[in-house]
A and B are shown apart, each in its own frame.
Chain A
Amino acid sequence: MAAILTAKNVTKRFGGLVAVNNVDFEIPEKSIVSIIGPNGAGKTTFFNCITGYAKADEGKIVFDGTPIQSQRPDQISRLGISRTYQNIRLFADMTALENILVGQHIFLNSSWISAVLGTSYVRNEEKMALAEAQRLLNFVDLKGKGDLLARNLPYGAQRRLEIARALATKPKLLLLDEPSAGMNPRESEDLTAFIRHLRDELGITILLIEHHMRVVMGISEHITVLDYGQKIAEGTPKEIQNNKQVIEAYLGRGAATEGMDTAHERFSKKVK
């Protein structure tokens, strides 16, 4: 399978702190890939490097044949990468519908002059954008909530709206930063199904950051583990569950001396 995104030797420093250290990374097209790692391992920074919010100090990131490491976030989003945020970042004082319409920004072509004149082109385009936004609202189960301000939606609905907004940019690659944070097991299960659906039906490649091991192990085809900015392991969920270094990273150096079996048990418990 061809890789849709390839990162080579990506390094990002903040002053003396090396947040991402020489990471190589590949996402096969139409796959579901996760990045895991303890808090502060550099996962979100890596996301930021991909979406252009942070510029990688070294290394190369190629998306769909285009090098993107020096592009601005808006240019990258035009190429087909979209994301959600760890702590939901909706446009709080805009309605749910308007949030999604902003996501469609790059597909609308009307200039402000034609908008002022109200040409038929603009009217058609707006009508179609509105229809598409409604469709996306229905898609994430928010039918009829379009006129509510984003800030007043319940937590779960906000998460879904954020995904709908990301989908509005018609991404080829969707980055989800801890999508199951704050969800109960039932909701996480629904989310897992939903993410699979995105890949299977819409053909979107998915990259996840996730703490919830159940979700990660259940859904990912490939997992990369970061610790202190470094890639310490990658492989299938099975391989990761049995990787000594990963267990150390999660449970501390002591775990290795304490005997692999007990440590493995604890890790497995955490996974289940």
Chain B
Amino acid sequence: MRATFSERLVDLAVNIFLWGFRILIVAIIIIGTFFTIREGKYTSEQWIDFIVFGISQGSIYAMIALGYTMVYGILRMINFAHGDIFMTGAFGAYFTATWLTKAGFVDANPFLGLLIPILVAMAVSTLIAVLVERIAYRPLRGAPQLVPLISAIGASFFLEYAFRGFFGPGKYAYPPIKALEGTWEIFGIGILKVQVVVAISAFIMMALLYFVVMYTKIGKAMRAVSENKDTAALMGIDVNRIIVTTFAIGAALAGAAGVLFALVYRQVDFFMGFTPGVKAFTAAVLGGIGNIPGAMVGGLVLGVFESVGPSLFLEGLGITRAYQLKDAIAYTMLVMILLFRPQGILGERLSKQKA
């Protein structure tokens, strides 16, 4: 037929481009790191600060990522509204915490003052996620992949702007817990209490989830459904109930993550779910989507990279105010991982149909 010269040219261009892209990123990382360390702009204490912040941030991403990963594992669907489920939890907690703080309850009982808003947030998020699943996703099961994705984008917008309608476009200041202000000395380094508490709470909840998924009856049913819905149904598992449960558990974690996020950043607004949502999705992909330990690892890796990255990789290259590009680092990781290792760090290679 026609000469395939132009095709070969395109093929070559694709390969050169992809390799160039990889080399560029690696070069930025290496050269940036080299110059940053040579300049010695930051002390090792500051680096540890960055890493601790990264871990606490990353554990929040990991909690949200679990919701993405579990739903994807079962339905092969990106629940685009998951970030907004996280936001609804934060709002639920905000009003509870404000009320408790005004009543003086939080100062007297800091532990319960933290726990109660978390429980409320989990309840609110779960309720809303179950409603969203029932209304916007369940009728679309079995439709082509893009249909539920677009419906999920719709649900995301609906939640964001419904909450904007309810509570207005402004930012609400999340009430601080006095007992969590200041720092703790750990190994001679002052670390913000909030970050320690956030990381510990996140780890406790993720351990709980892991236990539920691996060792309880419902967890086994969830894994069975994610392997094969039809076979699971034949084994007497109520697939719909398991799917709702999956949404509910993911949402409960996201709601709790919303509270932790609000504790760190001290503010709550209707759009707060978008960026952490995309980043948590990145974390889920990073760890291998559908893979529960993967989501936890992915979250931590992303959190640390994002926190250390601007200073370590970019400032050495002479980029001023590199922290503005923090999000760009996360998105670059997302794109890179989708391009070069879509199965993630811990994931198995998905077969062609699944990917």
Contacts and interface: CB of A to CB of B under 8 A. Distances in A.
Interface residues of A, number: 5
A235 B4 CA distance: 38
Interface string B1-21: 110100000000000000000
A109 interface: yes
A109 B4 contact: no
B2 A75 contact: no
Contacts of A78: 1
A83 to B, nearest CB: 17
Interface in A79-131: 106-107, 109
Interface in B1-55: 1-2, 4
A75 B2 CA distance: 10
Nearest to A80: B1
A149 to B, nearest CB: 15
Nearest to B349: A15
A78 B1 CA distance: 6
A44 to B, nearest CB: 14
B261 to A, nearest CB: 41
B285 to A, nearest CB: 23
A146 B156 CA distance: 42
Nearest to A14: B351
Contacts of B1: 78, 106-107
Contacts of A109: 2
Question: Per DSSP, are chain B's interface residues mostly helix, strand or loop, or mixed?
Answer: loop
B310 to A, nearest CB: 41
Nearest to B1: A78
Contacts of A107: 1
Interface string A48-88: 00000000000000000000000000010010000000000
A109 B2 CA distance: 8
Contacts of B2: 106, 109
Contacts of B4: 75
A75 B4 CA distance: 9
B147 to A, nearest CB: 13
Nearest to A74: B7
Nearest to A54: B352
B144 to A, nearest CB: 10
A94 to B, nearest CB: 15
A71 B4 CA distance: 12
A26 to B, nearest CB: 25
A106 B4 CA distance: 12
A107 B1 CA distance: 8
A91 to B, nearest CB: 14
B111 to A, nearest CB: 50
A85 to B, nearest CB: 14
Contacts of A75: 4
A106 B7 CA distance: 13
A82 B2 CA distance: 18
A8 B2 CA distance: 28
A72 to B, nearest CB: 9
A103 B219 CA distance: 49
A75 B10 CA distance: 14
Interface string B206-239: 0000000000000000000000000000000000
A78 B3 CA distance: 11
A106 B2 CA distance: 8
A183 B1 CA distance: 36
A107 B2 CA distance: 9
A109 B4 CA distance: 13
A78 B2 CA distance: 9
Nearest to B4: A75
Interface in B63-96: none
B79 to A, nearest CB: 27
Nearest to B11: A72
A109 B6 CA distance: 14
Contacts of A106: 1-2
Nearest to A53: B352
B49 to A, nearest CB: 45
Nearest to A75: B4
A154 to B, nearest CB: 23
Interface string B269-313: 000000000000000000000000000000000000000000000
B145 to A, nearest CB: 15
A109 B3 CA distance: 11
Nearest to A106: B1
A78 B7 CA distance: 13
Interface of A: 75, 78, 106-107, 109
6 contacts: A75-B4, A78-B1, A106-B1, A106-B2, A107-B1, A109-B2
Q: 5 shortest A-B CB distances, which residue pairs?
A: A78-B1, A106-B1, A109-B2, A75-B4, A107-B1
